Amino acid sequence: MFERLGHFVVRRRKAVLAGFILVLVIAGSVGSLVFPRLSSGGYNNPASASSQAQKYLTDTFHIKDPAIAIVVDAGAQGLMDPTVVADVQSLESALSAKPTVTKVLSYWNTGGAASLESTDHHAGYLFVYTSPADPTSSTDLAKNVQAEFDGSYKSLKVYVGGSSTVYFAINNKISKDLALAEGISIPLTFLLLLFIFGGLISSAMPLVVGVSSILGTFLVLYIISLFTGVSIFALNLTTGMGLGLGIDYSLLIVNRFREELHAGNSVEDSIVKTVATAGRTVFFSGITVFVTLASMMFFPLMFLKSFGYAGIAVVAMAVLGALIPLPAILALLGRRIDSFVVRKSAITPKQEGRWAQTARFVMRRPVGIVVVSLLILGTLAVPLKDIVFSQVDSRVLPASNKAAVASAVSLDRFSGQAENPIYIVIPHASNAQSQLPSYVSAVSHLQGIASVTQPEIASDSAVFQATTSLGARSNAAQDLITRLRALPAPTGTLIGGEAASYTDTQSGIQHALPWALGWIVISVLLLLFLFTGSIILPIKAVLLNVLSLSATIGFISWIFIGGHLGWLVGKFTNVGSLDTGMVILTAVVTFALSMDYEVFLLSRIREEYENGKDNQDSVAIGLQRSARIITAAALLLAVVFAAFLTSGVTNIKILGLGVAFAVLIDATIVRALLVPALMRLFGDLNWWAPKALKRFTIKH
């Protein structure tokens, strides 16, 4: 199949390239429309009890949370001072006149509701409600309100916050940070490519595949966004993985093409051989990464599903780019691929070199190398014992961000989070009239509850609200919801609100995680067996990746919970926990990339072994031919993701540092040390499998 593809691309290289350019233009033009459609929400579990409660609140009681929550500070004046009242009324009128605003509710127009007054009695809440049910749909309004009113308004000090404002702030910050990260990573990546490839022409090949992968994925995400929500965070995965896989696959293809040319083959034969060998490796590597990233689809959150959408799209685009337009370009360039040489030693492949020498050194001392490597990885994994998980809130933003400041003021000066109340819904209130008073009393006396409202009845259902001083998206709030649900309650009682949604989301992730892990392990073991024909190598690969992954998450925990190496990651608000979704994403992406490198290495080792070399020579030569590519790819990928450390959003910092650290650990300790050491210990058993299963493996 791959040989036929190679012949097809060579013979129709001009038509293939023209079609590629046309598709690229269309993808770029249409795909750019995805940006305003992306959401910074998507953390709720739609199948949860809190979502059922939200449906009751919306359909039966017509209740929804405010899109914008404003803290109005009267300063030294009293809250009911005539000047303050007049200025607040002016502010309310200005907000009410905004498009999509349906209601403005405040401490002042409710007659001085205690739940809307600060503990120091110098500030009050003002809530803005909008016609869209989803707060993420009100980000344009939040942007305008923040720009117009945040700061000083007449005699008042105004802090504009709330869900829509936070969503807007995150979207805006990520968009700007993404442009900055790309502005840093792309030029730096090209300079590194120039050094690695040694020629100006060849150095541009990875960027061709990478950029085309990104634009193609934008088009796919736009189409998906027409039918379901897509998270803004998917952009960072798209750009990082697009450039990373473009680099990985281009390095493999171009390096093999050069190798065939230098062996004396014609351009056409070199292309065919390259597609038949390196192209096959790219294809199976892509499938491995594809199925690994597809595990994100098991989670109920739109936030995590979005990474599944972006991941499988960007992998597919990178594989297509490496197998079709890239060989066509190489066929047109021919021997000019080595034109404009800047480092001559980089363009000549070597049978023996530093990597082969390293492999032979390791294989002479395999036990010692394994022990030392495991000690290093184990030490890095130690901080895992103190890891705490949570979810994104306004603190993911820089502390100086206006939305983060407003949230901090709200938490500091108000005893209860009135903008994020806990809703208690009793669907069949007529059957629970005798229980209702005692249940309301029990809720009000629960530790952590600041206040409780009187029940409201509608259509045989009842609802009342409870406020808490705890952050809605925190582990303390999760504990409160758990204790609240444990209280004896009328049959069918539902707990809703932001804190309940947070609790259900964490639970949904926990329940989906075993299925996702099972999918990854089983599919990767099967694919690696088909690719290598070995029983031992797939098991070894999965276990080593688990070790390096544990070390990576431990390192992330040490920095973002322990508070170390601030000079490296920049300023962030240490909340004492890691976002659950971002840790899962980092783990899945690093596992996928590790398998990518595993396939690269094992492919070349197996090729040498099947050509008649013994186990040790196969490992040494295979490492020499592939480790240079793996190390270069890891370095370049680390640069791409490390650029995310310039972001002001903590989650993006976690993703950037996690992936950069993981690929460097994988390319050095795992691939350069542990893999050759373990393959030396297993010897010819590396390639053992029952004869009945051998017929199912792929021939190289």
The more confidently predicted of residues 322 and 194 is: 322
pLDDT score for 353: 67
d(CA 623, CA 639): 23
CA distances from 365 to 602, 614, 625 (A): 21, 18, 22
Tokens for 334, please give them.
């021919």
Q: Please tell me the distance from the alpha carbon of residue 327 to that of residue 279, in angstroms, as a whole number.
A: 9
- Residues 151-161 have a mean pLDDT of 91
Residue 273 in tokens: 């051989």
pLDDT of residue 1: 78
Name the nearest CA neighbour of 391 among 22, 42, 14: 42
| 163 vs 155: CA distance, rounded Å | 26
608-639 as b/e: b if 16+ CB within 10 A: bbeeebebbbbbbbbbbbbbbbbbbbbbbbbb
Tens-digit pLDDT profile for residues 1-41: 788 888 888 888 889 889 888 988 898 889 888 888 887 66
CA distances from 58 to 132, 134, 146, 233, 408 (A): 12, 11, 27, 28, 28
Angle at 273 between CA 207 and CA 269, to 5 degrees: 100
Output the six-digit token pair for 544: 């080593």
Helices 650-665, 536-560: inter-axial angle, 10-degree rounding: 140
| Alpha carbons 442 and 325: distance in angstroms, whole number | 68
Question: How far apart, in whole angstroms, are the C-alpha atoms of residue 73 and residue 65?
Answer: 22
DSSP state of 344: G
Average pLDDT (438-444) is 89
Which is more confidently placed, 190 or 309?
A: 309
Average pLDDT estimate for 311-316: 92
Q: How far apart are alpha carbons 374 and 490 in whole angstroms?
A: 55
Q: Assign residue 258 a region: left if phi > 0, alpha if psi is -120 to 50, beta otherwise? A: alpha
Q: Which two tokens stand for residue 451?
A: 């206040």
Give the side-chain half-sphere CA count within 13 A for 483: 14
Q: CA–CA distance from 587 to each of 86, 209, 374, 584, 663 (Å)?
A: 54, 25, 19, 5, 11
Q: Can you tell me the mean pLDDT for 627-653?
A: 85
The residues, any chain, with a CB within 8 Å of residue 425's CB and separated by 6 or more, are: 53, 56, 57, 461, 462, 463, 493, 494, 495, 496
Per-residue pLDDT for 416 more than 80? no
What's the rounded Cα separation, in Å, for the pair 448 and 444? Answer: 9
Mean pLDDT of 40-65: 81
* CA dihedral for 637, 643, 647, 650, sign (positive or negative): positive
- Which domains, ranges and CATH numbers included, belong to the chain? 2-41+168-393+504-694 (1.20.1640.10), 67-161 (3.30.70.1320), 398-503 (3.30.70)
- Check pLDDT > 50 for residue 165: yes
Grouping H, G, I as helix, E, B as strand and the rest as coil, residue 431 is: helix
How remote is the C-alpha of 155 from its chain's centroid?
43
Question: Are 367 and 314 in contact, with CB atoms under 8 Å apart?
Answer: no
What's the CA gap between 186 and 180, in Å, rounded? 10
Question: In sequence order, what DSSP letters do the residues of 196-251 get, joined into one string?
Answer: HH-BHHHHTHHHHHHHHHHHHHHHHHHHHHTTS--BTTHHHHHHHHHHHHHHHHHH
Q: Which residue type, as a one-letter code, is found at position 528?
A: L
Amino acid (1-letter code) at residue 71: V
Candidate from 258-267, 362-371, 672-681 with smallest mean pLDDT: 258-267
What is the pTM assigned to this prediction?
A: 0.83
| Average confidence (pLDDT) over 539-564 | 92
* Distant-in-sequence, close-in-space partners of 39: CB < 8 Å, separation ≥ 6: 136, 167, 171, 229, 230, 231, 232, 302
How high is the pLDDT of residue 352? 56
Over the stretch 446-478, which tens digit does the pLDDT of each residue have?
988 888 888 888 878 888 888 887 777 778 888
User: Poorest-confidence range of 39-48, 127-136, 473-482?
Assistant: 127-136
β-pair partners for 246 = none
How many percent of the chain have pLDDT more than 70?
95
Tell whether the model's pLDDT for residue 415 goes beyond 80. Answer: no
CA dihedral 52, 55, 56, 62 (to 10 degrees): 160
